[in-house]
């Protein structure tokens, strides 16, 4: 399949700080997720492919054309920025119609498309409310509405699920999947693996400005599962819990925190650990107060992968 | 290009109208109306001896020419690009199928129009309050229109300069303040050609009847060596064209980053 977006040796730095380094990518129609911790270079890559930044080295082409100042490409592009920023004095409908007018649509067409987009993200009831009065989730959804309102062929979504409640997340994920079905190209960034899993199986791991791995979700999952996880459980029966789990072969280490009645398990099989924990809770009278994962963030996983 | 400029103009004129900044500046520009009302009340009570024309001339030179148009142009012009960076709305603009030059020109025209409405309504109302009476003639109306147009040319010139600063500098407001209320206020009193390095010089040159003005504010005109009116108009038009062109070029080729 012909790639829609081609990045060749793409490098960008901000003074002495590296944004991205020698990125080579072909992105085809469908959903491609950029997964990486904050500061990995996802946003820099997205800003370059949307013509907001120029690469210091290398080049990016969309449909075979350079992006910078290319109005033909911009016409086919929808960009959802990560930042929570708006023309606050406008209401949702005015915001969308105003931005739609930049595409040369007539007044009636702008209104029609704006209403469709608002409906798509479930904001039709608050269309005439000032954006400044919107909740965090509503603001995120209106950002998505402005991305899709002009029916672009390519959607670049920078952390589109951030700040959304579970229901809105499902709605947006469904919307993104509909775009894939319509043959469009969607590039979405996230630092939350389960969110990405819900959208696509095509994932690019990006870290410290470089592409660490590219593959389908199973490949990525395999990489991540080999990472030892820390799970901290607070319970009045923390010693009993440790005794019951100590014999399991996937437990690598156990540390006690008696002053707060907690125990920290280190495991390289998180799923097995949680299955067993569920069984223990059901079978015995163990009472748990809190379960947290001190290192359950992508940064820790990526650091582990880089070191390995 | 014209259509793109018009699209940007419509968006920013509309959003600009609804902004709190517009309300603030509208109130500020209405200060002269308020002052006019107070003075007129004093006149009617017989406690003010100067004619409405003289009072208005003072308003024109001190409030409108050296304060209001500079201030309006400074805040609207400086915000041309910087507000998009400060408010982080730049991505909404520069990922649209609109030339970057059209963004600058459209925003410039939108903000010039908003500032013009404020200026004209303020000038007209002040003039009418101070001069409306049995002797008011059509000639008076022509005078106020001429004054308004001269001020408008100043507004356009300042706005283009501050707009250019906005595309070039991260903090244009400081340089703008130093230029608008420092350089412009001082340099026009220098003798010889030095005074011609200010926009105010050309605006004052278009008000020849005041060059020999006496009175309380006569010191403001004492050193003016006026440029011929036609040349002054051409230079003001040239300033607008030059700085808008520079702003368009810089904005078209420059990257704008904001802190993430």
Instruction: Give the pLDDT score at B117.
Output: 95
Q: Inter-chain contact A102–B20, Cβ cutoff 8 Å?
A: no
Nearest Cα neighbor of A206 from A4, A16, A22, A15 is: A22
Over range B157-163, report the average pLDDT.
95
- In chain B, whose CA is at the least distance from the CA of A71? B97
Ranking B18-22, B55-59, B241-245, B250-254 by mean pLDDT, the lowest is B55-59
CB of B92 within 8 Å of a chain A CB? The answer is yes
Query: Contact A78/A182 with Cβ under 8 angstroms?
Result: no
Instruction: Give the pLDDT score at B211.
Output: 46
Of A90 and A193, which is predicted with more confidence? Answer: A90
pLDDT above 70: residue B221 = no
Q: How far is A60 from chain B (nearest CA, A)?
A: 15
| Reported pTM | 0.81
**A299 band by pLDDT with thresholds 50, 70 and 90:** low
Instruction: Give the pLDDT score at A263.
Output: 92
Residue B67 — φ and ψ, nearest 5°? -125, -65
- In chain A, whose CA is at the least distance from the CA of B3? A104
* Closest residue to A53, CB basis, from B89, B99, B255: B255
User: How do residues A137-164 score in pLDDT, each as one tens digit?
Assistant: 889 899 999 999 999 999 999 988 887 7
Instruction: Give the pLDDT score at B91.
Output: 92
The Cα-based distances of A253 to A60, A222, A291, B88 in angstroms read: 47, 21, 17, 46
Share of chain B above pLDDT 70, in %: 93
Select, from the ranges A208-217, A223-232, A286-295, B10-19, the one with the highest average predicted confidence (pLDDT): B10-19
**A45 band by pLDDT with thresholds 50, 70 and 90:** very high
Mean pLDDT estimate for chain A = 86
| Cα gap B136→B142, rounded to integer Å | 11
Instruction: Give the pLDDT score at A18.
Output: 84
Nearest Cα neighbor of B172 from B67, B66, B73, B68 is: B73
Count chain A–chain B contacts defined by CB atoms under 8 A. Answer: 80
Cβ neighbourhood burial of B228 (10 Å; 0-12, 13-18, 19+): exposed
Share of chain B above pLDDT 90, in %: 44
């Amino acid at each position: 399949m012909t790639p829609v977006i081609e990045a060749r040796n793409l490098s960008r730095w901000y003074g002495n700080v590296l944004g991205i380094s020698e990125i080579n990518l072909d992105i085809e129609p469908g959903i491609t997720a950029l997964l990486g911790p904050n500061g990995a270079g996802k946003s820099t890559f997205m800003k370059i492919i949307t013509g907001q930044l120029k690469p210091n080295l290398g080049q990016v082409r969309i449909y075979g054309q350079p992006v910078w100042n290319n109005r033909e490409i911009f016409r086919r592009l929808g960009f959802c920025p990560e930042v929570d920023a708006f023309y606050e004095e406008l209401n949702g409908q005015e915001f969308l119609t105003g931005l739609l007018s930049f595409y040369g649509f007539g007044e009636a067409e702008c209104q029609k498309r704006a209403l469709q987009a608002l409906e798509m993200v479930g904001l039709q009831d608050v269309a005439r409310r000032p954006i400044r009065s919107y909740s965090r989730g509503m603001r995120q959804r209106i950002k998505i509405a402005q991305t899709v309102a002009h029916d672009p062929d390519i959607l670049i979504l920078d952390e589109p699920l951030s700040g959304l409640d579970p229901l809105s997340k499902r709605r947006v994920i469904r919307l993104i999947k509909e775009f894939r079905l319509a043959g469009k190209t969607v590039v979405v960034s996230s630092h939350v693996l389960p969110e990405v899993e819900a959208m696509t199986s095509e994932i690019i791991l990006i870290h410290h400005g470089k592409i660490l791995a590219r593959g389908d979700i199973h490949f990525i999952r395999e990489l991540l599962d080999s990472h030892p996880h820390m799970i901290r459980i607070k319970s009045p029966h923390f010693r009993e819990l440790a005794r019951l789990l100590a014999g399991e072969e996937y437990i690598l280490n156990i540390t006690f925190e008696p002053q707060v009645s907690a125990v920290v398990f280190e495991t390289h099989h998180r799923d097995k650990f949680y299955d067993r924990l569920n069984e223990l809770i059901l079978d015995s009278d163990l009472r748990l107060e809190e379960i947290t994962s001190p290192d359950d963030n992508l940064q820790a996983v990526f650091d582990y992968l880089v070191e390995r | 290009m014209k259509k793109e400029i018009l699209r940007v103009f419509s968006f920013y004129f509309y959003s600009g109208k609804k902004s709190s900044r517009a309300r603030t500046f509208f109130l500020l520009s209405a200060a002269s109306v308020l002052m006019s009302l107070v003075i007129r009340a004093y006149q009617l009570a017989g406690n003010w001896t100067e004619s409405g024309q003289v009072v208005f001339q003072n308003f024109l030179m001190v409030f409108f020419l050296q304060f209001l148009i500079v201030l309006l142009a400074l805040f609207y012009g400086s915000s041309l690009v910087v507000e998009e960076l400060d408010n982080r709305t730049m991505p909404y603009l520069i990922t649209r199928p609109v030339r970057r030059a059209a963004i600058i020109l459209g925003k410039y025209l939108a903000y010039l129009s908003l500032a013009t409405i404020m200026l004209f309504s303020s000038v007209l109302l002040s003039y009418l309050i101070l001069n409306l009476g049995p002797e008011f003639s059509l000639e008076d109306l022509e005078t106020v229109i001429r004054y308004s147009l001269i001020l408008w040319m100043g507004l356009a010139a300042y706005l283009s300069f501050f707009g250019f600063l906005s595309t070039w500098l991260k903090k244009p407001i400081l340089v703008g303040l130093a230029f608008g209320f420092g350089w412009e206020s001082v340099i026009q009193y220098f003798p010889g050609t030095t005074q011609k390095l200010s926009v105010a010089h050309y605006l004052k040159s278009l008000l020849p009847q005041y060059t020999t003005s006496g009175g309380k504010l006569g010191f403001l005109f004492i050193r003016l060596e006026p440029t011929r009116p036609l040349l002054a108009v051409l230079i003001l038009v040239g300033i607008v064209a030059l700085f808008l062109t520079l702003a368009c070029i810089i904005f078209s080729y420059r990257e704008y980053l904001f802190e993430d």
